[in-house]
């Protein structure tokens, strides 16, 4: 076949977000678009550094611990700084919560906007040094009426988020976004420096064939989880499920969105509240999964309904295909 001339009508992320606002008749808003533009730029910047990390000595520890007492990698710190600087300077934010910072940042009056951004600048740190996929996760709230920016603006249920997404740094950089009207995926075209719409209207298959848990924690798992895992590994009829676990939430959720199945990081006898953080890991992913037609639960409660009381609070997480997560929930119901 002959080579085709390039497409002249490409849908960039910014164009796509704007056209959604035209559809909804809210195109005048613009602020959210500008905020999303700032976030896109940070993802491009982080992607570049992830690519070069080995070459420019960004591998290894920064020598400090983060809010949860975990050691910080150089790339964690750099990614955090990139996001804080860009989001503050955008003039569109009032409160910033980062996994890497103990306290929330309340943006000074001069630069204050009406959105609050909660984020994990570089999730999946244990994978950095091996060059395995890692990602940025973010969620966006609107500031409460009359507020000048306070923690209470982000101690809100996930169902109040106006947008959420992640960027996965893998063989390509993929940004997956919801503004509450479905889920779209964009791939970074490095020659253009733009995220191009490549995965419009992502829908999770209603049932998958893959389960994604850290089974190394099996001895600590609670009964419903153990019994559920038994049921998919030793099914009464049909084939057992396949196991896939990367240990980077962004990569494990990305695969779950595209292929279906279930991802879980349960609370257990060792991690009493689970491991994953509610505000900037569980909420954004739960929002995306629900918008793609799936379910996100703690086992007993819809994740997006939880009202946080701490910005770094942890939670049990199960998410993915509707039928698979329903099966898991049944084991919790039987236990109750
Ligand atoms: P991090 O924020 O310190 O990188 O931890 C979060 C990561 C998630 O990406 C992943 O789902 C989980 O921790 C993996 O944990 P484990 O190594 O215990 O399986
Ligand atoms: Mg994290």
247, 280, 296: which to mutate for ligand 1, most atoms within 8 A of CB?
Answer: 247
76, 98, 123: which to mutate for ligand 1, most atoms within 8 A of CB?
Answer: 123
Model confidence pLDDT, tens digit, residues 36-72? 999 999 999 999 999 887 777 776 677 666 666 666 6
pLDDT for 69 equals 64
User: What's the 25 CA to ligand 2 centre distance in angstroms?
Assistant: 36
Proximal ligand: closest to the CA of 121: 2
User: What's the 286 CA to ligand 2 centre distance in angstroms?
Assistant: 15
User: What's the 68 CA to ligand 2 centre distance in angstroms?
Assistant: 10
pLDDT band at 1 (very low <50, low <70, confident <90, very high): low
pLDDT for 64 equals 64
DSSP state of 143: P
Please name the residue whose Cα sits nearest to atom 12 of ligand 1: 247
Q: Which atom of ligand 1 is nearest to the CA of 124?
A: 4
Q: Encoding tokens for residue 149?
A: 């920016």
User: What's the 14 CA to ligand 1 centre distance in angstroms?
Assistant: 30
Q: Which atom of ligand 1 is nearest to the CA of 248?
A: 9
pLDDT for 164 equals 98
In degrees to the nearest 10, what's the CA dihedral of 219, 135, 140, 301? -20
Nearest to 311 by CA among 115, 156, 146: 156
- Residues 137, 286: Cα–Cα separation, whole Å: 12
Proximal ligand: closest to the CA of 278: 2
- Residues 42, 79: Cα–Cα separation, whole Å: 8
* Mean per-residue pLDDT, 160-186: 96
pLDDT band at 126 (very low <50, low <70, confident <90, very high): confident
* Mean per-residue pLDDT, 232-244: 97
Summary mean pLDDT of the chain: 93
Model confidence pLDDT, tens digit, residues 67-113? 666 666 788 899 999 999 999 999 999 999 999 999 999 999 999 99
- Residues 263, 322: Cα–Cα separation, whole Å: 12
Q: Is residue 6 scored above 90 in pLDDT?
A: no
Taking each helix axis as running N to C, give the angle between helix 223-233 and helix 322-335, from 0 to 180 degrees, rounded to the nearest 10: 130
- Residues 47, 217: Cα–Cα separation, whole Å: 31
pLDDT for 22 equals 79
Proximal ligand: closest to the CA of 133: 1
> Residues near ligand 1 with C-beta < 6 Å?
70, 99, 120, 123-126, 214, 247-249, 252, 265, 275
Q: Is residue 253 scored above 90 in pLDDT?
A: yes
Q: Lowest mean pLDDT of 9-13, 45-49, 183-187, 277-281, name the range.
A: 9-13
User: What's the 124 CA to ligand 1 centre distance in angstroms?
Assistant: 5
Please name the residue whose Cα sits nearest to atom 5 of ligand 1: 124
pLDDT for 129 equals 83
ipTM: 0.96
pTM strictly above 0.80:
yes
User: What's the 257 CA to ligand 1 centre distance in angstroms?
Assistant: 18
Q: Is residue 121 scored above 90 in pLDDT?
A: yes
What stretch of H or E contains 144? Answer: none
Q: Is residue 7 scored above 90 in pLDDT?
A: no
């Amino acid at each position: 076949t002959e080579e085709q001339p390039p497409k002249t009508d490409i849908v960039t992320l910014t164009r796509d977000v704007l056209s959604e606002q035209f559809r909804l008749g809210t195109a005048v808003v613009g602020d959210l678009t500008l905020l999303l533009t700032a976030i896109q730029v940070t993802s491009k910047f982080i992607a570049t550094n992830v690519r070069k990390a080995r070459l420019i000595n960004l591998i290894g520890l920064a020598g400090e611990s983060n809010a949860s007492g975990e050691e910080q990698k150089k790339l964690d710190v750099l990614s955090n700084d990139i996001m804080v600087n860009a989001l503050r300077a955008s003039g569109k934010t009032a409160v910033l919560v980062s996994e890497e910072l103990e306290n929330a940042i309340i943006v000074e009056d001069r630069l204050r906007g009406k959105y609050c951004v909660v984020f994990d600048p570089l999730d999946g740190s244990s994978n950095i040094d091996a060059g395995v996929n890692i990602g940025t996760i973010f969620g966006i709230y609107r500031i409460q009426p009359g507020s000048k920016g306070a923690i209470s603006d982000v101690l809100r249920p996930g169902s109040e988020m106006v947008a959420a997404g992640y960027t996965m740094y893998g063989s390509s950089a993929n940004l997956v976004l919801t503004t509450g009207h479905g889920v779209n995926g964009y791939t970074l075209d490095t020659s253009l420096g733009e995220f191009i719409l490549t995965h419009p209207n992502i829908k999770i298959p209603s049932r998958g064939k893959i389960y994604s848990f850290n089974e190394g924690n099996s001895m600590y798992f609670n009964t419903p989880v153990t019994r559920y895992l038994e049921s998919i590994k030793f099914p009464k009829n049909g084939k057992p499920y396949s196991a896939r676990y990367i240990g980077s939430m962004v990569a494990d959720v990305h695969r779950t969105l595209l292929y279906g199945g279930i991802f879980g990081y349960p609370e257990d006898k060792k991690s009493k509240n689970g491991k994953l953080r509610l505000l900037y890991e569980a909420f954004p992913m739960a929002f995306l999964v629900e918008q793609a037609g799936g379910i996100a639960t703690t086992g007993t409660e819809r994740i997006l309904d939880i009202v946080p009381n701490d910005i770094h609070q942890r939670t049990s997480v199960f998410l993915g295909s509707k039928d698979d997560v329903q099966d898991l929930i049944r084991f919790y119901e039987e236990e109750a």
